[in-house]
Amino acid sequence: MFSAADRQVLRDLAQRVAEIAALPVMAERKQLWRQHNSLKPGRPMILIFPEGSWRELLPDSALRCADKAARGIEWDLRHRIYTWEHFASDNVIEKEWTVGKAIRNSGWGL
């Protein structure tokens, strides 16, 4: 699957994301979002989504993994870390990793 070097890069990044997600401020932000989404009064919530700019903020040259799939995972992890380190917003950094379904069609059904 992935080389040992790629696995180590991903593990280090995942550990950093988990550390960020475990910070008390993340629990506070989650609570503020629950309050906001329940239409309860509170301070304005701020999200920053620099869509269209991510390739400038986090270029492919910043990635260290060699495998294409590993680079995709690395980019997502670095994206979360970059959001925490550079944006003064209410974005919540989660430690969970969502794995999509593997669906194959043999021609006879799914």
What pLDDT digit, counting tens, does each position of 55-89 carry? 999 999 999 999 999 999 999 999 999 999 999 99
Terminal alpha carbon distance of the chain: 25
Q: Which residues contact 70 (CB under 8 A, 6 or more apart)?
A: 2, 3, 6, 7, 9, 10
The CA distance from 65 to 42, in Å, is: 42
Share of the chain above pLDDT 90, in %: 86
Model confidence at 92: pLDDT above 70:
yes
- Smallest CA-to-CA distance from 86 within 61, 57, 63 is with 57
Q: How confident is the model at residue 108 (pLDDT cuts 50, 70, 90)?
A: confident
Interhelix angle 68-86/4-21, nearest 10 degrees: 30
Secondary structure of residue 65 in the 3-state scheme:
coil
